[in-house]
């Protein structure tokens, strides 16, 4: 699917165009102009773009950037723990900045829309399951795939 995928952010914070660049600098990455541009595009993303979408957005701002540069930069950001690779189906890896805090994803299988959510009851259950099995939970990832529930159909003639 070539269209960007919308995402709901329950925390409501607006994008900070330099936050990923700051993470890069903190983790010792040399910031070239093209890396800075890719970091900005990722910081401004309200969705979970794949590399092709990142390239489209970056090349709209600087036509000199190559798709190979975007691939190399994303791989580097992933190695440094600045972004995480996600597989939401559709055959393309998408990327989620790690500084958004702990959250889960619900993927609409019909539209590809990704909805971010937090759920304290799920968190408690996950800790309980780990404890029951003799572990302390150190991390988790939940990706739900769903389809919008059909609206109730209007009653047919002759049915109450």
Q: Is residue 27 part of a domain?
A: yes
Q: Is residue 43 part of a domain?
A: yes
Got the DSSP string for 132-149?
HTT--------EEEE-PP
How many structural domains compose the chain?
A: 1
Across the beta sheet with 143-146, the strand order is 7-8, 114-117, 104-108, 143-146
Q: Is residue 14 part of a domain?
A: yes
Q: Residue 96: give its domain's CATH number.
A: 1.10.10.10
Q: Which domain holds residue 128?
A: 7-146
Q: Is residue 97 part of a domain?
A: yes
pTM score, whole prediction: 0.56
Overall size of the chain counted in residues: 160
Per-residue pLDDT in tens (0 to 9) along the chain, 160 residues: 333 333 343 344 445 557 788 888 888 888 888 888 888 888 887 777 788 888 999 999 999 999 999 989 989 888 888 887 777 666 666 666 665 666 677 878 888 777 777 788 888 888 899 999 999 988 777 778 889 887 544 555 654 5
pLDDT of residue 99: 58
CA distances from 43 to 95, 122, 157 (A): 11, 28, 54
pLDDT of residue 11: 40
CA 96 to CA 88: how far, in whole Å?
A: 11
How crowded is the C-beta side of 83, counted as CA atoms within 13 Å?
Answer: 29
How crowded is the C-beta side of 6, counted as CA atoms within 13 Å?
Answer: 3
In terms of Cβ atoms closer than 10 Å to its own Cβ (0-12, 13-18, 19+), residue 49 is: buried
pLDDT of residue 84: 78
Collapsed DSSP state (helix, strand, coil) of residue 71: helix
Q: Is residue 155 part of a domain?
A: no
């Amino acid at each position: 699917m070539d269209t960007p995928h919308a995402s709901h952010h329950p925390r409501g914070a607006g994008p900070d165009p330099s936050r990923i660049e700051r993470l890069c600098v903190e983790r010792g990455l040399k910031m070239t102009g093209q890396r800075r541009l890719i970091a900005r595009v990722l910081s401004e993303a309200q969705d979970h773009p794949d590399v092709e979408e990142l390239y489209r957005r970056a090349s709209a701002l600087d036509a000199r950037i190559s798709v190979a540069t975007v691939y190399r930069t994303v791989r580097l950001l992933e190695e440094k723990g600045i972004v995480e690779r996600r597989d939401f189906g559709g055959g393309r890896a998408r990327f989620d900045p790690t500084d958004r805090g702990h959250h889960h994803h619900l993927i609409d299988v019909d539209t590809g829309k990704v909805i971010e959510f937090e759920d304290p009851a799920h968190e408690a259950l996950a800790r309980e399951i780990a404890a029951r099995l003799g572990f302390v939970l150190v991390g988790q990832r939940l990706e739900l795939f769903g389809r919008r529930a059909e609206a109730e159909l209007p009653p047919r003639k002759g049915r109450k």
